[in-house]
Structure 1
Amino acid sequence: MRLWTDPPHRSPRPTRTFVSLTGPPSNIGDALIRRAQLEWARGTSDELVVYVGDAPDAWLAQVGAPEDATVLRSKQSVRRWLWMLATSPRRPVLVFEAGEVPLDRGNTLRELVFLAETLMVRLKRGVVVRPPRGIRAPTNPAVWLHARAAQLSQFALWRDAASARTVGGNRIVPDIGFAAGVRPGNPWEDRDELIVSLRGTRPHPGTVWIDAIRTTAEAEGLRIRTVVQVREDEERARKLAEQLGGVFEAWGDTDAVVQEEQLRERYAGARLVISDRMHVLILAALSGAVPVELVPHPTRKIAEAFATVGLRDISVDAASHDANSMVGLLRTQLGRAAEVRLRVRQAEQRLAATEAEVRATIKAARA
């Protein structure tokens, strides 16, 4: 006699999360924000698919890619990325890159591809996340395409109001670098350094600037140190140390993960960090140092991103000041330590709440 049995249950097809994690291992700031966006995606699906472009193995360690992730490398793997996205089970998750987004005419084709990816995921009733971003060189039709893709995404986040306005966005949150973790650092009275880290590709800040930094350090009893957070800035740091009478700390052959940790320890012992690199200033602020952009003719990027977290007047145009007024401005900034600590803690909390919202949205989409 044949007994009736229930039909076997079909196992659901495994879910997938796609994350783009390209970037140069020579830039610790890029690794910082890629690692933070990966944290938003980690554990949201059965399978994690990451695209890292031409990045070497060292980059995977920098961003903290899990060993069980499916890693797609080189531009030749873009087709596989698109195929996996198109054939993925329903309700996939797609996380774009945080940071700066160039939207000049040369990026029109790329934006068209990104719009197509967004459409694919939404048609599969999935979730699209665009972490905090800032727009550079906005030009149509790239801007129009980007705006359409952002409108189709459940999360299109902007790190400054100007970028949001460019594409009609309305969600402004702190740069995702502020999620790297607040550290108490050394007590204020034990901090004895003024740290400088400038871009090597911009003009030298000039002798008046040199005089102002040296005078400020002497007046505050601080030792000057130049550090390197982006490899291409190393020679600039070396020369500035000579001119400032400070200590030069090379990157050299140090592993990038170790270099990042050493930099954070340096920022933890500094009262003031001067840079035109945004993520130098963010890491400095997270470690309790006062961040200042003091260079001739600064761009609006740093000022606008820090304004989002409530820290205004962080950026100063050195070309508009003589040495005495720069010294006065820097000494005034040193009085903002408590404000910096408060604002970065609030920024960290806002990003944590945003991540929780992203995860809740993904969970609801798959319920």
Structure 2
Amino acid sequence: MIAKPTQQVFAHLSGQDDNLGDSALRLVYLDALRGAGRHVHLYLGEATSDFTAGFAPASDLTIHRSRAEWAAAEDATARPVHAFNAGEINPRAGHFPVPRRAAECARVLEAGGALIFAGIGIKDVDTARSVAFDPVMRAASVMSWRDRGSRDGAGFGDVAPDWAYSEGWHVDAWASAEERPLIAVTMRFDRAWPGDDWLAAVRAFAVATQTRIVTVAQVARDAPRAMRLAQALGGEYAMPPSMRHDVLDEYVREVYRRSLAVISDRAHGLIIGATEGAFPLGSGSDPHKISRLLGTVGLGGLVGGYEQFHGFAQRFETHLPTLAPAITSARAEIAALTARIHAAMEAVA
């Protein structure tokens, strides 16, 4: 039997350098691209060591320091697999991807390779009607959005939950509600301060659930707000030992495993918390994005503006039993998406 040559996979997985959610979802995506008989060529943009810490060196992985080098390796490969970046896109009026990137994708298909779009979401779906999505996206081997609003706005493709839902402990290993003494709060630095009524409602929620409040920062720029919130809420800022993403991921997950709920306007604060058994209470000045990402897995019932939090707290207990089934279902959908990606790869191997 003649052995198949190693399949070459090319993934550009850059993200916000100080944002744990950005590296977390991309690490899961990377895992979905790996496997026996494959070698992944990875470009992480201009990321610092904090972001890249989770992308451990391995024999099946080449991390390219320049995009030109990465692109040249792809151009020299017969039937490459091209994995378009996952996460949030913010297309302006006009063409998406930009012509250079669209041509790059088209060359992969012309060479008999596989083109993967998996786990992308539009920042503001209201902009989609003014965007001309390149035909190469419709022709992709896999075209999957991470929320229904993005898919409906674009008008094509299918939907699977954000990659980050597949992380975390198995639901059977979660601590019970009675064994969770904390309420975790993590809020964006670049949104309006929630105000006295919201602060009072959060404090009252902690009293009603017999928990204590801790604040965390999954994004380095959120740390000053987390410290201010801890003081305003009479809680404690849970400061991580390092902002390296591998250390930070382990630290915040340990906090969430002891938390009954996570209150946040950060999508991946809510998602990572949910995967560790902390019920996501989405609360923010502009909750549309978090509503879409949680609604995709059936967890959008307690997501809204600051003024709605008091009502969420009153309904919290009735929603709590829905968390484990939602996460189990989300993980099954992500496993199915991963299987589709593997099938697309096998078809061109």
TM-score, normalised by the number of residues in structure 1: 0.87
Separation of aligned partners in 2, 1:160 and 1:239: 32
Separation of aligned partners in 1, 2:54 and 2:188: 21
Separation of aligned partners in 2, 1:141 and 1:165: 10
2:54 aligns with 62
Tell whether the 8 Å contact from 1:185 to 1:288 is kept in structure 2 after alignment. yes
Match for residue 214 of structure 1 among 203, 206, 229:
203
Superimposed CA distance per residue, residues 333-367 of structure 1 (whole angstroms, 9 cap, x where no aligned partner): 2332220110111100110111012112211222x
Separation of aligned partners in 1, 2:317 and 2:134: 40
Alignment of 1:32-71 (within 5 A): 32-43=24-35, 45-66=37-58, 69-71=61-63
1:161 aligns with 148
Superimposed CA distance per residue, residues 106-137 of structure 1 (whole angstroms, 9 cap, x where no aligned partner): x8586212211211110111111111111124
Separation of aligned partners in 2, 1:25 and 1:157: 24
2:344 aligns with 361
Tell whether the 8 Å contact from 2:27 to 2:54 is kept in structure 1 after alignment. yes
Residue 308 of structure 1 deviates from its aligned partner by 1.3
Aligned: 1:186 with 2:175: yes
Separation of aligned partners in 2, 1:300 and 1:63: 31
Q: Give the root-mean-square deviation of aligned CA atoms.
A: 2.4
2:325 aligns with 342
1:251 aligns with 240
TM-score, normalised by the number of residues in structure 2: 0.91
Residue 329 of structure 1 deviates from its aligned partner by 2.1
Superimposed CA distance per residue, residues 276-295 of structure 1 (whole angstroms, 9 cap, x where no aligned partner): 01111111111111101122
Tell whether the 8 Å contact from 2:21 to 2:269 is kept in structure 1 after alignment. yes
Match for residue 19 of structure 1 among 11, 28, 31:
11
Residue 98 of structure 1 deviates from its aligned partner by 1.1
Alignment of 1:15-164 (within 5 A): 15-43=7-35, 45-66=37-58, 69-73=61-65, 77-89=66-78, 91-105=79-93, 108=95, 111-137=98-124, 143-144=131-132, 146-164=133-151
Which stretches in structure 2 are left out of the alignment for 5+ residues? none
Tell whether the 8 Å contact from 2:7 to 2:38 is kept in structure 1 after alignment. yes
SS at match of 1:23: coil
How many residues align? The count is 346
Distance 1:186 1:167, change over 3 A: same
Which amino acid in 1 is paired with 2:234?
G
Separation of aligned partners in 1, 2:19 and 2:55: 12
Superimposed CA distance per residue, residues 27-62 of structure 1 (whole angstroms, 9 cap, x where no aligned partner): 110110110110111126543211111113443331
Separation of aligned partners in 1, 2:114 and 2:283: 40
Which amino acid in 2 is paired with 1:71?
I
SS at match of 1:281: helix
Separation of aligned partners in 1, 2:52 and 2:209: 41
Separation of aligned partners in 1, 2:113 and 2:130: 24
Tell whether the 8 Å contact from 1:18 to 1:48 is kept in structure 2 after alignment. yes
Superimposed CA distance per residue, residues 271-329 of structure 1 (whole angstroms, 9 cap, x where no aligned partner): 11100011111111111111011223x2311111111112232312124x4xxxx3342
Tell whether the 8 Å contact from 1:17 to 1:44 is kept in structure 2 after alignment. no
SS at match of 2:313: helix
Separation of aligned partners in 2, 1:185 and 1:64: 27
Which amino acid in 1 is paired with 2:111?
K
2:272 aligns with 283
SS at match of 1:63: coil
Match for residue 257 of structure 2 among 247, 252, 268:
268
Tell whether the 8 Å contact from 1:182 to 1:286 is kept in structure 2 after alignment. yes
Residue 13 of structure 1 deviates from its aligned partner by 5.9
Separation of aligned partners in 2, 1:140 and 1:284: 30
Separation of aligned partners in 2, 1:235 and 1:140: 34
Which amino acid in 1 is paired with 2:231?
E
Separation of aligned partners in 1, 2:291 and 2:174: 24
1:4 aligns with none
Aligned: 1:171 with 2:158: yes
Distance 1:127 1:327, change over 3 A: same
Which amino acid in 1 is paired with 2:61?
A
Tell whether the 8 Å contact from 1:49 to 1:70 is kept in structure 2 after alignment. yes
**Comparing both chains, which one has the higher relative contact order based on Cα–Cα distances under 8 Å and sequence gaps of 6 or more?**
2
Superimposed CA distance per residue, residues 235-275 of structure 1 (whole angstroms, 9 cap, x where no aligned partner): 00000000100011123635331221111111111111100
Residue 15 of structure 1 deviates from its aligned partner by 3.1
Which stretches in structure 1 are left out of the alignment for 5+ residues? 1-8
1:3 aligns with none
Distance 1:150 1:211, change over 3 A: same
Separation of aligned partners in 2, 1:220 and 1:141: 44
Which amino acid in 2 is paired with 1:21?
L
* Aligned-residue identity in percent: 28
